[in-house]
């Protein structure tokens, strides 16, 4: 029997998927939430890693139903522009996207120096991130007229060490 994780897949966006992700961001953040377009799509998109979540059962041109970007900050791997299409919200898809992003950061050598992920949550969305294991820290700050709070979560990595043994095989410690 298919499971939710069979239907939804998280991965690094292709060029075409990134274009689809931008359309979702504009739809939700600009059209619905009324953030300015010039604030939503910015220069950081050029250096960020963009992840998407796709619905493999969706029979339309775009299977992308959500996205987020990952940036390197001085203290943590920073998630931003986290968004799910409105018709998929409240169904666990956002949690799957967050879990996929957390696994990507934990496994990627690019983020090995970090112990935490962080994100700037819209004040009214922080309950979602708490349900994903994030903890609010610091003061509320204004981002384009919308109150936000920084939220952090430790990165959980697989700590198995691979060591060659005398027979040339691997041993897991």
The string of pLDDT tens digits covering residues 112-132 is 999 999 999 999 999 999 999
Q: What is the average pLDDT across 130-145?
A: 96
Q: Place 158 in a pLDDT band, splitting at 50, 70 and 90.
A: confident
* 113 alpha carbon, distance to own chain's centre: 18
Q: What percent of the chain has pLDDT over 90?
A: 79
Q: What is the average pLDDT across 3-21?
A: 89
pLDDT at 110: 94
The pTM of this model reads: 0.86
Average pLDDT taken over every residue of the chain: 89
Q: What is the average pLDDT across 26-46?
A: 93
pLDDT at 171: 35
The residue with greater pLDDT, 69 or 144, is 69
| Measured distance CA(153)–CA(135) in Å, rounded | 6
Q: What is the average pLDDT across 12-26?
A: 96
């Amino acid at each position: 029997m298919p499971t939710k994780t069979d239907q939804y897949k998280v991965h690094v966006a292709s060029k075409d998927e990134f274009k689809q992700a931008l359309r979702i961001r504009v739809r939700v953040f600009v059209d619905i939430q009324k953030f300015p377009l010039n604030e939503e799509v910015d220069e950081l998109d050029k250096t960020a890693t963009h992840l998407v979540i796709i619905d493999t059962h969706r029979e339309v041109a775009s299977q992308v139903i959500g996205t987020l970007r990952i940036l390197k900050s001085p203290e943590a791997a920073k998630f931003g522009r986290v968004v799910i299409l409105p018709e998929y919200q409240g169904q666990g898809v956002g949690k799957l996207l967050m879990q996929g992003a957390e696994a990507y950061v934990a496994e990627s050598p690019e983020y090995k120096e970090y112990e935490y992920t962080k994100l700037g949550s819209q004040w009214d969305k922080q309950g979602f991130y708490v349900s994903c294991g994030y903890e609010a820290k610091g003061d509320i700050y204004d981002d384009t007229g919308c109150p936000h709070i920084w939220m952090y979560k430790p990165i959980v990595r697989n700590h198995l060490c691979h060591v060659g043994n005398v027979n040339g095989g691997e041993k897991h410690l």
